[in-house]
Amino acid sequence: MEDAVLLPLPQEVSSAKGSFEIDGNTEVLIGFDMEGMDLSAGFLANLLKNSTGLNLQVKNQKLPSDGSIWLTLNDDFAAEGYQIEVSENQVIIQGGSPAGLFYAVQTLRMLLPNEVEKAGSYEGVSWKIPAGIIKDAPTYDYRGSMLDVSRHFFEVADVKKYIDYLAMYKYNYLHLHLSDDQGWRIEIKSWPKLTEIGGSTQVGGGKGGFYTQEDYKDIVQYAADRFITIVPEIDMPGHTNAALASYPELNCDGEAPDLYTGTEVGFSTFCTDKEVTYQFVDDVIRELVEITPGPYIHIGGDESHVTALEDYIPFIEQVQDMVTSYGKQVIGWDEIAHAALRPSATAQYWAKAENAKMAVEQGAKVLISPATRAYLDMQYDSTTRLGLHWAAYVELDSAYLWEPSELVEGINKENILGVEAPLWTETISTLDEVEYMVFPRLIAISEVAWTDAKDRNWESFKKRLKSHYKRMELMDIDFYKSPLIDSV
């Protein structure tokens, strides 16, 4: 087990002799009857079925037995924590919650031969899990990534693929950037032109697209089945050209601007002193809340360069009240700290440490997404064909070698909700391109968010990642091969 290639690295791994072999008689047993237990058991059985061709039986059984993988709950573990004990006779998995068991299954997956990732690869592989014990729990509660589906639209199937990747590395939030100057991507039944007009294009002038509410619910459910919560973002009062182009009344001069397919930022704003603006925002939030079971609504708030601060502040305050009145908590980009933050609000630190500090001084939490470390759209180096580099070139070491609680003085672990790695898509329009930008940095950030700082080690990460290449290749992931890994 000590040689196992585990990403993100668990808290404790100890090896024993021998291994447990999965064959046609292996059963997956659920030891505790609770909602969500079947998801982890089912995920494991499905994964194994696809690759090994074996049809493992999943059933309820109160106690473990030889030849089986037994999943149960144990209150002694942290909510998202788990323990895996592998012996020659059986595998016993205990989780602090169904989510903990899901993470255990992701670890078990990495203990199995790489071929477990490849459909129909049953020839000549023995499905052995090395014996030993793993104990694990995450450092941060919120481990997220953001996908910008506004600059370029991504179909439901692509979003699901992205969710699959997040699940593998124990992420638990997917933030969808659903609106921006270039596109409005979520159906709002009371304002149908948002998608009809605002959803009709994207950067470069392509056809754009949008999610119907049914599509969105399908994404939410697919994510929930993998213990991932969707955080929808409607960016405002800036980054709103697509909405402004759809409804002239949202503009101060009453005239709709043209749709926008370029990549400038900071030129649009809602008219913050018009009544209709607040009616509009309330309708959008209400409809979004109805289809969003997760606790957070992201209200954007970034780069509102053409909104006067005296207009921006009351706008953000009012929108926070709308979100909280619908029972949800607000997340906004760090600029929202200029406004009075509601007690449950979170500021997402991306650029300005002063903003993050202002948020903490108000008692708010901070979600850590520094552009120089965690932005997946930053180029790796000056030769990267895709991406931007306004914040930095973010090679793999930059993405790995940092600690969220040491980034800004005065922002400590207790002020931090978690870590999020955003992928902006001005330059990215296909899933292959997404893969190239996010892999392997998404894996690096998963370890920053999951693994305690004292257990993280760059040399170990590089070695594990190099061994992990095979698995990514079997998964057909189009990843960036960092020169820093070549020499390992």
424 binds ligand TNX (CB under 6 A): yes
Binding ligand TNX by CB under 6 A: which of 43, 103, 184, 333?
333
Nearest approach in angstroms of CB 44 to ligand TNX is 37
For the bound state, the minimum distance from the C-beta of residue 55 to ligand TNX, rounded and expressed in Å, comes to 46
- CB nearer to ligand TNX: give 85 or 302: 302
The single residue listed with the structure tokens 């979170």 is 346
Catalytic residue among 303, 317, 403, 473: 303
Residue with tokens 């509410």: 213
Please identify, using beta-carbon distances, which residue of 41 and 243 lies nearer to ligand TNX.
243
Binding residues for ligand TNX, total number by CB under 6 A: 10
d(CA 392, CA 384): 12
Residue number with CB closer to ligand TNX (112 or 203): 203
Q: List helix spans (H) across 383-457.
A: 396-400, 431-438, 441-450
DSSP 260-328: --S---S-----TT-HHHHHHHHHHHHHHHHT--SSEEEEE----TTS-HHHHHHHHHHHHHHHHHTT-
Under 8 Å between Cβ of 420 and 109:
no
Q: Tell me the CA end-to-end span of the chain in Å, nearest whole number.
A: 21
Pick one of 187, 233, 377, 420: the residue that binds ligand TNX (CB under 6 A).
Answer: 377
70 is a site residue for ligand TNX (CB under 6 A)? no
Distance in angstroms (rounded) separating the CA atoms of residues 160 and 166: 10
Is residue 396 within 8 A of residue 444, CB to CB? The reply is yes
Helix axes 98-111, 37-52, angle to 10 degrees: 20
Cα–Cα distance between 323 and 318 in angstroms, integer?
9
For ligand TNX, the binding residue among 224, 265, 289, 474 (CB under 6 A) is 265
Tokens of 487: 């020499």
E strands, 53-199, are 57-60, 68-73, 82-86, 91-95, 128-136, 142-148, 173-177, 179-180, 183-184
Should residue 479 be labelled a site residue for ligand TNX when binding is judged by CB under 6 A? no
Kindly state the smallest distance separating residue 437's Cβ from ligand TNX, in Å: 11
Beta carbon nearer to ligand TNX, 132 or 332: 332
- The answer to whether 443 touches 110, Cβ cutoff 8 Å, is no
CB-nearer residue toward ligand TNX: 302 or 447 = 302
- Selected binder of ligand TNX within 141, 283, 303, 473 (CB under 6 A): 303
* Among positions 388, 392, 407, 485, the unique one binding ligand TNX when judged by CB under 6 A: 388
Q: Which is nearer to ligand TNX, 115 or 148 (CB)?
A: 148
302 binds ligand TNX (CB under 6 A): yes
CB atoms within 10 A of CB 373: 24
Q: Is residue 372 within the footprint of ligand TNX (CB under 6 A)?
A: no
Name the E strands within 372-441. Answer: 416-423
Report, in Å, the least distance between residue 424 CB and ligand TNX: 3
Q: How far is the CB of 37 from ligand TNX (least distance, A)?
A: 38
Q: Is 260 in the site for ligand TNX (CB under 6 A)?
A: no
Strand partners, 35: none
How far apart are CB 375 and ligand TNX at their closest, in Å?
Answer: 6
Q: Does 153 bind ligand TNX (CB under 6 A)?
A: no
290 is catalytic: no
DSSP state for residue 378 in the 8-state scheme: B
Token pair belonging to 342: 């509601």
Instruction: Please pick, from the candidates 43, 103, 162, 350, the single residue that binds ligand TNX as defined by CB under 6 A.
Output: 350
317 binds ligand TNX (CB under 6 A): no
Closer of 125 and 388 to ligand TNX (Cβ): 388
Please report whether residue 461 would count as binding ligand TNX according to CB under 6 A: no
Kindly state the smallest distance separating residue 364's Cβ from ligand TNX, in Å.
17
Catalytic site positions: 303
Residues that bind ligand TNX (CB under 6 A): 265, 302-303, 333, 350, 375, 377, 388, 424, 426
